Chains A and B, each alone.
Chain A
Amino acid sequence: MILPPFEHHRPRTVAEALAIARQCDGGFDYVAGGSDLLQNYKNRLNPRPHLIALGAIEEMRGCSDERIGGLTLLADLEADASLIPAYPGVRNAAAQVASPLVRQQATVGGNLLVETRCFYFNQSEFWRQSIGYCMKADGDVCLVVPQKEKCYATYSGDLAPVLMTLDASFHLAGFAGVRAVRAREFFAGDGIAKNLKRPEEIVTHVTIPRLSRGMLADYAKLRVRDSFDYPMVGVAASLRLDGERVAELHVVVNAVDTRPLPFEEYTDTLTGRQFTAALIDEVAHEVMVQSRPVKNLVLSTSYRKKMIGVLLSRLLRGFAGDRQLAAAGV
């Protein structure tokens, strides 16, 4: 499959990138590693006449315990054990994305902004033309839930959920200047709108609050194979304990909706509760009940829903480690 024709730009700075974006007047995409975008381009899924490659922008590189640059390769994040204390759970999440080869090419920014997925969307031009285009590309109906209002394509990036549980912020640079958007608020809208980023904005780096550094955090991903695949569901959680009681608990469920789903309202009610096996069961059950996967990925929706509970339960038990909770029958 060949790519459609496009003009390729390679700016050296964020300012230069924005200047090119302004000239392209909406007809452009940014590309970093390209492991998500180029496949969609080959399938002729909303290709644009201009591609602005960000790979030469030095100021977006670099990963320290203060910030994660948007161009940080997932493989580098995975390899650097020194980053674990600053970003609990993030390295684990990065290590579960795709495969080692893809992680050599894929970037943090790219993974946050990965295109939403649906098996009526992620198909070739020939297939989509034959069956009829959908509203996310060239058409005006949803082929999963037949209606014309909302697109149900599923969010499938593996980094965002745990970053949301850590209350990370995404730093954006655009025509109006720079701003920070909390990860928990960033993802909004349906499978087409996806997030609050304006088209020309670039995710330059990610930070997490100092307070989050002491938390326990992790991400668990369900896929049929143990490599390469996008998530069928994912769960992320972060926990801070005060003795045996919950000081803060955050849960995000991935790959069941057009955005990673936070459960802030629910987990806020758990502050002060004892972190026991019974609580874990209760949380896993409630989160599962509130999740409603749509039938646009391969495994059955009832199974994916059930696995949210199982994955979350195991993840939270993992936090218990070898503490007294083991004695409490966890």
Chain B
Amino acid sequence: MADDVRDDAPRRDYQVIGRRIPLIDSWRKVTGQGPYTDDLKLPGMLVGKILRSPHPHARILAIDTSAARRLPGVHAVVTGAEAPAKFGVLPVSQDETAMAVDKVRYIGDCVAGVAADDEETALAALRLIRVDYQPLHPILSIDDALQPTTDPIHRHSKKANIHKQVDQEFGDVDEAFRASAFVERERFEFIGVTHAMTEPHAVIAHYTADGRLTIWSAQQVPHYLHRALADVMQMEMHRIRVIRPMVGGAFGGKSDPFPHEMIAALLSRGCGRPVKILFDREEVFLTNHGRHPTRTEMALGVDADGKLTGLDLDAKIDGGAWGSFGVVTTYYNGVLSMGPYRIPRFRYHGTRVYTNKAPCGAMRGHGAVNSRFAMETLVDRLAEKARLDPLQFRLDNLLPAHTTTVNGFRITSNGTRECLEKVRERSRWDEQHGKLPYGEGLGVACGFYISGSAHRIHRNRFPHSTVHVKIDMDGGITVHNLAAEIGQGSDTMLAQCVAEPLGVKLDRVHVYARNTDTAPFDLGSYSSRVTFMAGNAALRAGEVIAAKLVQAAARLTGRPAEGFVLRDEQAIYAPDPTVVVSYMDALHEAMAENGALVAKGIYQQPPPMGGNFKGAAAGLAPSYSFQAYVARVEVDAETGFVRVAKVWAAHDCGRALNPLAVEGQIEGCIHMGLGQALVEEFPYVRGGYILNANLLDYRTLTARQMPEVEVILVESNDPEGPFGAKECGEGPLLPILPAVANAVYDAIGIRMTSLPMTPDKILSALERRAAGRPRPVLQPA
């Protein structure tokens, strides 16, 4: 075991933890039973449709909905003026309204909503709504947005169309560079990409006669939706119930309260009937909340001993029309560069601008992906300058475990060294890197990501996650918590964290994570927090009930409670294992004169950590995940096509609660990361029109393009994670893009500084390099 990996967690023979378990909702997914939001039908349910702005930027002079209201079959029509209360997922950045009130800010912005008997009538009603627009000059690029203006997209922007600026400095970076042996600088351009999740957004709202509002929505953050609905609908929170049906993928694309949810609620209140809004695929793209287009300028220095000296980073991110999670994204583009390497001096200037385009938000790897690409490219370039092997260079610059970064991150468990050593060995790095024939190459890259944001986005002292467990005389265990299962396996994780301390089979546990009335709140599925926080809360609730069962067993047998171990659905007295009480007997004894067993477990918050400077909280996490990948590529130098043949993917997840699920997350992250690296892009043409708002032209990687992936699970046993576990849903995305880029360099000597690396760009780069040298038009085969 490498030095950096702690191993003081007692090695126990777990019964469900560490097993390869198919996710407990798998059958309902593969048989299509769901139910997903769109599967739900309520009596009297109407179809809702949204009228969207055809202008990227325009003032609304007048809206006339009278003809739409008169159309037979139309039961409600709503416009922005009826619900002017602002909302947004971050309390510090609430700039959205249910529909546009005074102006529209991007093509696709919501202007009005209708509820009608059927889709055709609803669409006909939309066509009858007349909106008088006064087009305004659209801001469509980062450079345009930085220009001073007297008429910004959002009134709260002061000088230009700037949403957020971050300035952080730790030590004198310029001095460090002057003293460095080499400094590599580069500018990188990243076009936006988006989640392209399988299930489009869908919501059903029902405002019932008793004055309560129920919302079913495909959501990652039902709790934040709950709060936002109260604000927008001007209702008390307890009168609103949010229910999350099965979700068909989200990846950060469903981690905000949305206008369409507000619109459905307003329409339902307008007519008293349930209203469903289902997006078509174009609307999913228009809603976006994907990765920000980014311009990254980075400089990284190394001294004569091969040690990194400093990092200077300027990131400009294009936020589109709304704030969403953008303030956090602005921080993450910089601060998440402070691992896994030890960087003694750091300067970061981050800017998020508003533009008249589809809003950007949190997308898997939130803010870290593009900067990680830049950093891992510059690390390779420095290694080359210093004539050091790039993998060894990384090993020699790692943060140790149990340390603090210069910007105040508390690093606990850290398995990077083991990750790098394992991929080095498995990929036969030393024999092959730099030694393969032209067109074939190996590349390495590391990653670093938060395992849950340490700080709440709302100021309060509520636990980050609360789990209630109930067991009744039938022996079934119900687990209640609002963690959003979005395909990452949180329901299964909760079940495992309860089943293990109780020593029961997993199928005895039934997870209810859907309903704000009955599930105590969890903040939601974002920032890779759920396993760490909800898992800990579930484990604690499980332990409370375990204690009750053990005491019951003690009463039944006359043996001391502390001698009992729960496993195999029994309470076994360890000093004399012939003394056994079945789970059901112990349960019924515990229930006598007591009733159903209930227990609560909470994850209140991480220990105090971090500095006192502005923005210190951003990037703080109770623990971090670490990765190291090696990718092998083949480049066809005549066509520019890059084929990723194989990836060795080592990820430190603390402990793999469910190795099957962790592998799935790693493979899915690689798929998504390769998409951004090779084929995905979200371009605009002609003044604010998304070119490819459909799944044919927005190209995600096909199954055939996926490389062979060898997953290497590294377990550094986090001291605070449940059973030692940390995140595995986002970190594994970070290294694949730069590993491929570094492999392309090994293969053909070209460094790509903009993504995606489409064949035409690779070929242009090859030609630019060859310019000036006479070359036949076509090489012989």
Please give the residue numbers on chain A whose beta carbons come within 8 Å of chain B beta carbons, in ascending order.
1-2, 5, 99, 119, 122-124, 126-127, 129-131, 143, 222, 224-230, 277, 281, 284-285, 298-300, 302-303, 306-307, 309-310, 313-314, 317, 329-330
Contact = CB atoms under 8 A, between A and B. Distances in A.
20 contacts: A126-B282, A130-B54, A130-B689, A222-B639, A227-B704, A228-B702, A281-B778, A298-B691, A298-B692, A298-B697, A302-B760, A303-B640, A303-B759, A307-B639, A310-B638, A310-B639, A310-B778, A313-B781, A330-B780, A330-B781
Given A228-B696, A303-B759, A330-B780, 18 more contacts: A1-B280, A1-B281, A123-B693, A124-B282, A126-B54, A126-B282, A224-B758, A224-B759, A225-B699, A225-B705, A227-B702, A228-B702, A284-B778, A298-B697, A303-B640, A303-B764, A329-B780, A330-B781
A277 B692 CA distance: 40
B679 interface: yes
B777 to A, nearest CB: 5
B686 A131 contact: yes
Contact of A229 (B119, B640, B699, B780): B699
A143 to B, nearest CB: 8
B544 interface: no
B686 A126 contact: no
A127 B120 contact: no
Contact of A309 (B120, B701, B759, B778): B778
B107 interface: yes
Contacts of A313: 778, 781
A48 B107 CA distance: 28
Interface of B: 52, 54-55, 107, 119-120, 123, 280-282, 638-640, 679, 686, 689, 691-693, 696-697, 699, 701-702, 704-705, 758-760, 763-764, 776-778, 780-781
A131 B701 CA distance: 29
Contacts of B640: 303
A227 B701 CA distance: 9
A214 B427 CA distance: 48
Nearest to A307: B639
Contact of A303 (B280, B705, B760, B777): B760
A124 B107 CA distance: 13
A285 B777 contact: yes
Contacts of A227: 702, 704
Nearest to A298: B697
A192 to B, nearest CB: 21
Contacts of B704: 226-227
A299 B761 CA distance: 9
Nearest to A42: B280
A241 to B, nearest CB: 19
Given A224-B679, A227-B702, A303-B759, A127 B781 contact: no
Contacts of A281: 776-778, 780
A299 B280 CA distance: 26
Contacts of A119: 691-692, 697
Contact of A126 (B52, B702, B764, B781): B52
Question: Most B CB atoms within 10 A — which of A123, A277, A281, A284?
Answer: A123
A247 B14 CA distance: 75
A131 B777 contact: no
A230 B697 CA distance: 9
Nearest to B686: A131
A130 B759 CA distance: 32
Interface of B is mostly: loop
Nearest to B55: A130
A5 B118 CA distance: 13
Contact of A314 (B119, B679, B696, B781): B781
B778 A2 contact: no
Nearest to B767: A306
A124 B704 CA distance: 29
Nearest to A131: B689
B702 A225 contact: yes
Nearest to A230: B696
Nearest first, the 9 A-B pairs at minimum CB distance are A130-B54, A303-B760, A227-B702, A1-B280, A300-B760, A299-B760, A310-B638, A124-B282, A225-B702
Contacts of B705: 225-226
A229 B696 contact: yes
A284 B701 CA distance: 30
A131 to B, nearest CB: 5
Question: Most B CB atoms within 10 A — which of A2, A143, A330?
Answer: A2
B702 A226 contact: yes
Contacts of A309: 777-778
A230 B699 CA distance: 12
B47 to A, nearest CB: 10
Nearest to B281: A1
Contacts of A307: 639
Contacts of B639: 222, 307, 310
Nearest to A223: B699
A285 B679 contact: no
Contacts of A317: 781
B38 to A, nearest CB: 14
A282 B530 CA distance: 62
A299 B681 CA distance: 12
B107 A130 contact: yes
A150 B596 CA distance: 77
Contacts of A299: 758-760
Contact of B120 (A2, A222, A285, A306): A2
Nearest to B689: A131
Nearest to B51: A126
B763 A303 contact: yes
A117 B383 CA distance: 47
A153 B107 CA distance: 25
A7 to B, nearest CB: 15
Nearest to A309: B778
A127 B780 contact: no
A129 B54 contact: yes
Contacts of B689: 127, 130-131
Contacts of B764: 303
A313 B692 CA distance: 32
A253 B164 CA distance: 51
Contacts of A99: 702
A305 to B, nearest CB: 11
A282 to B, nearest CB: 10
A1 B695 CA distance: 14
A78 to B, nearest CB: 16
A285 B699 contact: no
A87 B668 CA distance: 41
Nearest to A302: B760
B468 to A, nearest CB: 42
Nearest to B107: A130
A321 to B, nearest CB: 12
B693 A277 contact: no
A303 B640 CA distance: 10
A263 B39 CA distance: 54
A302 B638 CA distance: 14
A5 B759 CA distance: 42
Nearest to A303: B760
A202 B679 CA distance: 38
Nearest to A326: B781
B234 to A, nearest CB: 31
Nearest to B108: A126
B780 A277 contact: yes
A130 to B, nearest CB: 3
Contacts of B123: 2
A284 B686 CA distance: 35
B706 to A, nearest CB: 11
Nearest to A289: B777
A119 B759 CA distance: 20
Contacts of B55: 130
Contacts of A230: 696
B778 A225 contact: no
Contacts of A225: 679, 699, 701-702, 705
A249 to B, nearest CB: 17
A114 B679 CA distance: 25
B754 to A, nearest CB: 14
